[in-house]
Amino acid sequence: MRLSLEKLIPVPLKDRINEYNSWIWNQELVFNSGERISIQAPSGTGKTTLIHFLYGLRKDYEGRIYWSAFNMSAINAEQLSQIRASYVSVIFQDMRLFPELTAWENLEVKRRLTNTVSEYDAEKWIERLGLKDKLDRPARTLSYGEQQRVAIVRALLQPFEWLIMDEPFSHLDHANRQRAIALIREVADHHRAGIILADLEDNDFFTYSRKLLL
């Protein structure tokens, strides 16, 4: 699945776009399947806005975003849900777990949607990230770091061709970050999936094919 951005300009940032030299806003870009892209985005440049555009959560932009032939500004709700369930997975900066469900239930809500990952794998992955003992706890009682790890595993419990991440390790210490990176790399390799990681700083979490400045 190829991702194309054509002269993308967020309406709220329209007046400020020309103040800095963005490699993404108002550019023509094509990301081929399997690419690993790092987007370095200093605060206020619209990092989360871009992730929301790519994932179809917001449409207040000019220009066009295409996932293969799907134009994200004209896509219908059913097609969008199909893309989200089977082609593009996401790790939100604000995690977005169901606070009233336990950690395990949060994972099961995603896993049961497509049933493409076994219960055994899901348990093994969460164990690798050190959360085996926290599975029965409601998500709202988990620390940010724990919630972030649940959100990471949840994003892997579906088939995907692209994994979009918005500051996915912001709440993790070095050891947990390395474990999470290893898991993501392993699963993404298995799916031969592309990665788009947006972060405030330059990083070498993955071996990137391109590094872009927002």
Partner 1 sequence: MKSLQQKTLLRKLLLRHRSNNRLWAALIALCIGTTLLLLSVLIWWNFREILSGRGSNDSLGGTFLTVGKKVTNEKMGRPEMTLFTPQEIDAMQGAPQVQDVGVLVSNRFPVWATLNTTVAFSTEMFLEAVPDRFIDNRPVDWIWTPGNRTVPIIVSSEFLNLYNYGFALSQGLPQLSQASIQSLAFDLKIGRGQLEETYSARVVGFSDRITSVLVPQTFVDYGNKLFTGRETFPPSRLILKVKDPSDKLFINYLETRDYTTNAEQLRWSKLRTVVDAVASATGLLAILLMGIGTLVFILFIELTIARAQESMALLMQLGYSPRYLGRFMLRRFLPLMLAALALAMWLVMIAQYMAADKLKKMNLTLPHVPGWQVWAALGVSALVLIAFVSRAITRTIK
Site residues, partner 1 (CB under 8 A)? 55, 57, 77-78, 81-82, 84-86, 90, 96, 98, 100-101, 104-105, 108-110, 112-114, 119, 123, 135, 154, 158
Q: How far is the CB of 183 from partner 1 (least distance, A)?
A: 18
74 or 77: CB nearest partner 1: 77
- The nearer residue to partner 1, 25 or 162, going by C-beta atoms, is 162
**Total residues belonging to the chain:** 214
Q: In this complex, which beta carbon is closest to partner 1, that of residue 18 or of residue 82?
A: 82
Q: Which is nearer to partner 1, 90 or 188 (CB)?
A: 90
Residue (40 or 147) nearer to partner 1, CB:
147
Q: Which CB, 7 or 112, lies closer to partner 1?
A: 112
- For residue 107, the minimal CB distance to partner 1 (Å) is 9
Please, what is the minimum distance in Å from the beta carbon of residue 167 to partner 1? Answer: 17
**Minimum distance between the CB of residue 26 and partner 1, rounded to whole angstroms?**
27
Bridge partners, 109 (sequence order): none
Q: From the CB of 140, what's the least distance to partner 1, in Å?
A: 13
Minimum distance from residue 207 beta carbon to partner 1 (Å): 28
The 3-state secondary structure of the chain reads CCEEEEEEEEHHHCCCHHHCCCCCCCCEEEECCCCEEEEECCCCCCHHHHHHHHCCCCCCEEEEEEECCEECCCCCHHHHHHHHHHCEEEECCCCCCCCCCEHHHHHHHHHHHHCCCCHHHHHHHHHHCCCHHHCCCEHHHCCHHHHHHHHHHHHHCCCCCEEEEECCCCCCCHHHHHHHHHHHHHHHHHHCCEEEEEECCCCCCCCCCEEEEC
